[in-house]
Amino acid sequence: MGSAVTNVQKGDFVIVPFTNGCGHCAACKAGFDGDCSTFKGGAVGFQAEYLRYVSGDWGLVKIPGQPSDYSADMLKSFTTLADVMATGYHAAKSAEVKIGDTVVIVGDGAVGLCGVIGAKLLGAERIIMMSRHEDRQKLALEFGATDIVAERGEAGIAKVLELTG
């Protein structure tokens, strides 16, 4: 560990967000570390057991305890915080979702499903998930979606307009 790193210590259990910003440039300070002007292209090897991370004092998220303190399912959930959950939440945040809003999420993959969680966390009252997969529809409803729209294209637009008035 470099001597300038003070927020974490050797042996800490951390999540490494895949966006890998420097924390000091204008993009990072504005919250868009994926567009960091210092680390264009970022590092590779995320979601691996070991990774060389060059902005350790800024981007690492410390998790209490050690991996052995958590179940395998919890460890998998932590992995989402390094990637798809951060992306889904960022989408909801970028869309300026606020308390009482109605949100439509197009796409029921991992990021879309995490977008449901992000919208719910930001206070969306109605969350419409565009989804054609029954298993993902169930997850979306479990995560906070209030409506499912399976139609696509013009039919999907018409259904959303019907639901939202």
Contacts with Zn ion, residue ranges (CB under 5 A): 21-22, 25, 28, 36, 38
For CA atoms 83, 16, 123, 74, the dihedral sign is positive
By beta-carbon proximity to Zn ion, the closer residue of 10 and 40 is 40
Q: CB of 47: closest distance to Zn ion in angstroms?
A: 21
**C-alpha span between 144 and 96 (Å, rounded):** 18
Q: CB of 27: closest distance to Zn ion in angstroms?
A: 5
**C-alpha span between 56 and 33 (Å, rounded):** 14
By beta-carbon proximity to Zn ion, the closer residue of 30 and 161 is 30
Q: CB of 26: closest distance to Zn ion in angstroms?
A: 8
Q: How many helices (H) and strands (E) does the chain have?
A: 7, 5
By beta-carbon proximity to Zn ion, the closer residue of 90 and 136 is 90
Q: CB of 15: closest distance to Zn ion in angstroms?
A: 18
Rounded alpha-carbon distances, angstroms, from residue 151 to 95, 142, 155:
23, 20, 6
By beta-carbon proximity to Zn ion, the closer residue of 28 and 91 is 28
